[in-house]
Structure 1
Amino acid sequence: MVNLKEEIRTYWDSRHNEYDKSPGHNTRSDEEKEVWINALKRNLNLDKNSKILDVGTGTGFLSLLLAESGYKVAGIDLSEKMLSKAIEKSESNRLDIEFQVGDAENPPFEDESFDAIVSRHVLWTLPNPENAIREWHRILKPRGKVIIIDGEWSSDSISSKLRRFAGYSTMFITERRNPWKWQNHHNKIKNKLPFNGGTPPTKVESLLYENGYSNVWIDNLSDLIEAEKKNAPFYYRIMHSKKSRYLIGGEKR
């Protein structure tokens, strides 16, 4: 019997070739890239030689931006095929990033290994997000920072379903891509995950305080959201018009 982690790995393996084609999974302009870099820098507020772990790196989105900014970067992901894309991109950009297969809920590192840990759109993919937050605390150095970028992504309301259907239909017509082909697998996994539709920042804030973090702050990423909208296709704007995204950070006590 396939366990949930294997189901999750298989799902992301199946997405690796087309993942970067979706808006929000990659930057679409120099302006958008610069806004991302500035958002990371202002929230990390660390020296350039600081060592940062990108948990659930996927195809390397955050890892690449951080390495370009001068940080020492490592990235882990459950999906070897997603990592293969991250490695390919880092090599083509001549960036030195330590990628390896690893579980966000059980990262393969010694205690107090990193100055900061970042994650982007990862919490909803985890069977035990609180375990992950606790483990990230373990591998952070004293006063190290955790940066979590997440959002409230979807609901089962009629209006949400209508926006999703309209967006998918427009994508199918304009880009000749079938957004439904992963849905059965996606829904099968999603229904087993506690944060499957995303989670409000207040919930993440509570988890951080309960698991050894202090000085928690929230950045609403308004500049980033505006920059992404400028270059996003119409179907993306339809689907994400009512979704919220945020960055929440904290320090290891």
Structure 2
Amino acid sequence: MTAQDRINAYWTGRAPSYDAYVQRPERFAADQRAWSEVWSRALPRGPLDVLDVGTGTGQAAMVLAGLGHRVTGIDLSEGMLERARRHAAEMANGPVIRRGDAVDPDFPPASFDAVTSRYVMWTLRDPDVAVANWVRLLRPGGTVAVVDSTWFPKGLDNASENFADFYDDQVQAVLPLATASSIDATAAVLERAGLTDVTVTPLTTIYELDRRFGVAPNHEHQMQFVVTGRI
């Protein structure tokens, strides 16, 4: 298995429990409101053509579509894609969900007004190559907006997640942001890709929701950020 094969297999196995956590009824409405605000502030007024890379179960893609954007979500995990397609089918004007590589999306240049991701940068192989490819897909004035945090600054081997069978040394060797100790490392990737006005914004509303409802199993309560840049 390649490193990416192992990552795909891990997230396919995680898909049912991950989706159940995202969809839990006691927090769902509050999450929708909060994430709608996050993406509304991160992106220009639409409707836009948006590519959501590493879409997972489609949480961000669904919120973006709910804001009126024309959204395509791509992922390589078949388990995640199955969940995302199910949710998209239940929504009028929902996102288009297709198999695709976040590092090398297979679209013509200048296909989108924005490229987004949520919780992808840390588990992204070759992030510099990936973001350079995203920039190629943007139209003039386009935006990259990524949400992430510094999830594992002490290393994946010390994480409480059950990574051992999939995030082995081979995988960790190609994930330069997995153990970053500062979100500035993610911002630097956007800057190296030639994006301008790179901005890091703490997501205080999400932090407060995590405080109120609790965080995902095996996670700590910590600040998340949206990092944006424009061409």
Whole-angstrom CA distance in 1 between matches of 2:60 and 2:40: 12
Measured on the aligned residues, the alpha-carbon RMSD in Å equals 2.3
Q: Which amino acid aligns with 1:211?
A: A
Q: Any residues of structure 2 matched to 1:1-253 within 5 Å, and which?
A: 2-22=1-21, 25-26=22-23, 28-47=27-46, 49-156=47-154, 182-188=162-168, 191-192=172-173, 193-198=175-180, 200-232=182-214, 239-241=219-221, 243-252=222-231
Gaps of 5+ in 1: 166-179
1:110-146 per-position Cα deviation (integer Å, ceiling 9, x unaligned)? 0011001100111111221111110000001111000
* Number of residues of Structure 1 aligned to a counterpart in Structure 2: 226
Whole-angstrom CA distance in 1 between matches of 2:38 and 2:95: 20
Q: Which amino acid aligns with 1:42?
A: R
CA positional deviation for 1:215: 1.1
Whole-angstrom CA distance in 1 between matches of 2:17 and 2:193: 36
1:186-212 per-position Cα deviation (integer Å, ceiling 9, x unaligned)? 441653322223452222222222211
Whole-angstrom CA distance in 2 between matches of 1:96 and 1:20: 17
Query: Rg bigger for which structure?
Result: 1
For the residue of structure 1 that corresponds to 2:45, the secondary structure is coil
CA positional deviation for 1:183: 3.0
1:7-28 per-position Cα deviation (integer Å, ceiling 9, x unaligned)? 2222222222222234xx4572
CA positional deviation for 1:230: 1.3
Whole-angstrom CA distance in 2 between matches of 1:127 and 1:155: 17
1:201-246 per-position Cα deviation (integer Å, ceiling 9, x unaligned)? 222222222211101111101122112321226x75x8413x3321
For the residue of structure 2 that corresponds to 1:89, the secondary structure is helix
Whole-angstrom CA distance in 2 between matches of 1:50 and 1:33: 19
> TM-score scaled to structure 1, two decimals?
0.81
Say if 1:122 and 1:150, in contact at 8 Å, map to a contact too: yes
Whole-angstrom CA distance in 1 between matches of 2:88 and 2:214: 24
Say if 1:116 and 1:145, in contact at 8 Å, map to a contact too: yes
Following TM superposition, where does structure 1 have runs of at least 4 consecutive aligned residues deviating by more than 4 angstroms?
none
> TM-score scaled to structure 2, two decimals?
0.88
CA positional deviation for 1:102: 0.6
For the residue of structure 1 that corresponds to 2:147, the secondary structure is strand
For the residue of structure 2 that corresponds to 1:31, the secondary structure is helix
